[in-house]
């Protein structure tokens, strides 16, 4: 198998039949009407930013390109279509579908990982009408959820700040296996640091992280449940075994000592929890993170963890930290940090003060912002349901609209201005100010001279005549690039790490007031004066004229 084919392999369910039936019925109607040689241009865009915000992260482009690379109807596809389409559909149409290719399709796109805004085409798809129509549903499916998750992840990253680690814990709450894998992939693209999803780690090279569940703690009742007591001690290099000692006895002695130091009643600490911590620490002495809220954090979990963690230090190991999954996270994290610092000072273990505190417990963006105001001591958030299900807004709402047929512009009218399309083939530019921040996105008719840095350009609101402004850009960036032409991919596909870097770089080019959580400033998307006139002329030509009597 060639290297290109390996790189273009994708989820097997992403295939031409992953579409709506009406795409195929339209295809037959087009074919029956003699439109086989018609050409068309479609724009894929969205009308409103998600999560009450003013930006979106574009994701899913690589999957669209892989879909094009693998696009073909199999024999079994044709057999199935013959079963579900009416019996009078002509046999010749099925032969047409069987031989259909995307060699004459040209795909223009904004680079994946870019910050994008409403109305701006993310994709411009050109080619034979029937073929580009058949791509609609699959393209929308591949881009809508991917971009929504990436945007949600980017918002969590901004809320948490750069210092805090973010882990995606959403597989068990995701919408099925494919939803779980996509969520892991695009949360990582949007700024998360790892996932609990093992298969996503394997497929997408995402760091995999995890601890244990409450069930593990509850499975131990007393210290007598421990079947092994000894833990190996190695030399400083960690290569040569020096001896094995009774680790359980050391943990018990350390708990007695730390109960006095931390002012915790020893009789309130749960022995089954201590046994569970000891067992897990012996299995993972260099990776010990304990879930400390199975019984009571401050009266049991914290003391038991610290006892095992200090014992690990006695044996030459360095534990990682704790996870909080319930309760007042700000208060508990501060109390835990105080305990770590006290132990670090009293027992002269400097690194103990920096032990990691992970918090989970149904966390959303607002939770993190509130915890920030409460000066929490959390180092890492594990986020599941609110990330992968996008509870705040479950769909992005991308649409795929015909804007040109046989080189003639097409417009969709509506009483709702938001749903009026901008006709024709368009070129898109982002204009930057002297401070490096993006000022405005500008759509022009295809073929118009591009705006130039240092030259004043008139930017107009697409529909409101009085809203217009001259912009003198310090830098101009063309946004649409050719990604597919003549049956092949025209651009190298970036790695996941490159995409992650692009997301953060792109966010840095957007002013803070566009990104803030509360009442963000809308980013301006405009049209050139020529496109404005073109749009409104076509609007008047197509709008019905009423009559009063």
Q: What is the mean pLDDT of the chain?
A: 95
- pLDDT on residue 2: 43
Model confidence at 7, in pLDDT bands (50, 70, 90)? low
Assess whether 405 and 347 both reside in one domain: no
Rounded Cα–Cα distance for residues 178 and 474 (Å): 43
Model confidence at 236, in pLDDT bands (50, 70, 90)? confident
**Residue 485 forms part of a structural domain:** yes
**Residue 118 forms part of a structural domain:** yes
User: Higher model confidence: residue 185 or residue 362?
Assistant: 185
Assess whether 226 and 339 both reside in one domain: yes
Among 320, 351, 382, the domain-final residue is: 351
pLDDT tens per residue across span 316-356: 999 999 999 999 999 999 999 999 999 999 999 999 999 99
Q: Taking a C-beta distance cutoff of 8 angstroms, is the pair 431, 451 a contact?
A: yes
Give Rg (Cα) of the chain: 29
CA 6 to chain centre: 24
Assess whether 334 and 459 both reside in one domain: no
Assess whether 447 and 318 both reside in one domain: no
Dihedrals phi, psi of 483, to nearest 5 degrees: -115, -20
User: Higher model confidence: residue 239 or residue 354?
Assistant: 354
Assess whether 244 and 312 both reside in one domain: yes
Dihedrals phi, psi of 223, to nearest 5 degrees: -65, -20
User: Higher model confidence: residue 235 or residue 419?
Assistant: 419
For residue 481, the cross-strand partners are 109
Q: Token digits for 202? A: 């394997």
**Residue 177 forms part of a structural domain:** no
Assess whether 405 and 291 both reside in one domain: no
- pLDDT on residue 251: 98
Assess whether 405 and 332 both reside in one domain: no
Find the range with the poorest average confidence among 37-51, 159-173, 229-243, 450-464.
229-243
Assess whether 336 and 417 both reside in one domain: no
* Sequence-ordered strand ranges (E) for 363-499: 380-383, 399-405, 408-409, 426-432, 438-445, 457-460, 468-471, 475-478, 481-485, 488-489
- pLDDT on residue 387: 97
Assess whether 143 and 223 both reside in one domain: no
Rounded Cα–Cα distance for residues 184 and 174 (Å): 10
Q: Token digits for 253? A: 């002695």
- Say whether pLDDT at 310 is over 60: yes
**Residue 504 forms part of a structural domain:** yes
User: What pTM was estimated for this model as a whole?
Assistant: 0.95
- Say whether pLDDT at 3 is over 60: no
- pLDDT on residue 409: 96
What is the domain range of residue 338? 212-351
**Residue 329 forms part of a structural domain:** yes
pLDDT tens per residue across span 103-138: 999 999 999 999 999 999 999 999 999 999 999 999
Q: How many domains does the chain have?
A: 2
Among 317, 351, 385, the domain-final residue is: 351
Assess whether 231 and 335 both reside in one domain: yes
Assess whether 534 and 444 both reside in one domain: yes
Assess whether 330 and 412 both reside in one domain: no
CATH of the domain at 408: 3.20.140.10
- pLDDT on residue 8: 66
SS (H, E, C) 279-316: HHHHHCCCCCEEECCCCCHHHHHHHHHHHHHHHHHHCC
**Residue 488 forms part of a structural domain:** yes
pLDDT tens per residue across span 413-440: 888 888 899 999 999 999 999 999 999 9
**Residue 172 forms part of a structural domain:** no
CATH of the domain at 267: 3.20.20
**Residue 319 forms part of a structural domain:** yes
What mean pLDDT do residues 287-308 have?
97
């Amino acid at each position: 198998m060639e290297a290109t084919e390996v790189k273009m392999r994708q989820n097997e369910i992403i295939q031409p039949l992953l579409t709506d039936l009406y795409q195929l019925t339209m295809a037959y109607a087009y074919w029956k009407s003699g439109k086989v040689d018609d050409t068309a241009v479609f724009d894929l865009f969205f009308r409103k930013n998600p999560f009450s915000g003013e930006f979106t992260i574009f994701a899913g482009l690589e999957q669209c390109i892989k879909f094009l690379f693998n696009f073909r109807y199999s024999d079994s596809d044709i057999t199935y279509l013959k079963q579900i389409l009416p019996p009078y559909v002509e046999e010749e149409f099925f032969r047409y579908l069987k031989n259909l290719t995307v060699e004459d399709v040209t795909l223009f796109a904004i680079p994946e990982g870019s910050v994008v805004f409403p109305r701006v085409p993310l994709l411009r798809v050109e080619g034979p009408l029937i073929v580009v129509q058949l791509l609609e549903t699959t393209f929308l499916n591949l881009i809508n959820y991917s971009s929504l998750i990436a945007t949600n992840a980017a918002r969590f990253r901004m809320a948490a700040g750069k210092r805090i680690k973010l882990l995606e814990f959403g597989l068990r709450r995701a919408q099925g296996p494919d939803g779980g894998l996509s969520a892991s992939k695009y949360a990582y693209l949007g700024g998360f640091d790892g996932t609990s999803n093992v298969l996503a780690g394997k497929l997408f090279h995402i760091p995999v992280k995890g601890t244990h569940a409450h069930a593990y703690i509850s499975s131990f009742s007393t210290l007598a449940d421990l079947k092994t007591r000894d833990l190996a001690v190695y030399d400083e290099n960690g290569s040569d075994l020096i001896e094995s000692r009774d680790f359980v006895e050391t943990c018990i002695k350390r708990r007695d000592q730390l109960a006095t130091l931390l002012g915790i009643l020893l009789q309130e600490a749960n022995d089954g929890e201590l046994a569970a911590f000891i067992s897990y620490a012996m299995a993972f002495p260099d990776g010990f993170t304990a879930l400390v809220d199975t019984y009571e954090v401050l009266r049991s979990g914290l003391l038991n963890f610290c006892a095992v963690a200090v014992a690990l230090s006695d044996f030459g190991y360095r534990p990682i930290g704790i996870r909080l999954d319930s309760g007042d996270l700000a208060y508990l994290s501060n109390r835990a940090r105080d305990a770590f610092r006290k132990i670090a000072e009293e027992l002269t273990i400097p690194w103990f003060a920096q032990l990691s505190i992970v918090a989970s417990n149904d966390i959303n963006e607002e939770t993190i912002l509130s915890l920030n105001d409460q000066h929490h001591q959390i180092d890492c958030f594990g986020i599941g349901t609110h990330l992968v299900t996008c509870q705040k807004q479950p769909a992005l709402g991308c649409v795929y609209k015909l804007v040109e047929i046989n080189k003639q512009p097409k417009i969709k009218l509506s009483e709702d201005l938001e749903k009026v399309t901008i006709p024709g083939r368009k070129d898109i530019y982002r204009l930057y100010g002297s401070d490096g921040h993006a000022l405005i996105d500008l759509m022009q008719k295809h073929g118009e001279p591009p705006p130039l840095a240092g030259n004043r350009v008139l930017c107009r609101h697409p529909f409101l005549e009085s809203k217009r402004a001259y912009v003198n850009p310090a830098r101009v960036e063309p946004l649409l690039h050719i990604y597919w032409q003549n049956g092949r991919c025209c651009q190298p596909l970036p790695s996941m790490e490159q995409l992650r870097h692009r997301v953060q770089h792109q966010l840095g080019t957007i002013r803070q007031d566009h990104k803030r959580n509360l009442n963000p400033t809308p980013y301006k998307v405009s049209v050139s004066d020529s496109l404005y006139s073109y749009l409104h002329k076509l609007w008047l030509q197509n709008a019905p004229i009423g009559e009063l009597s």
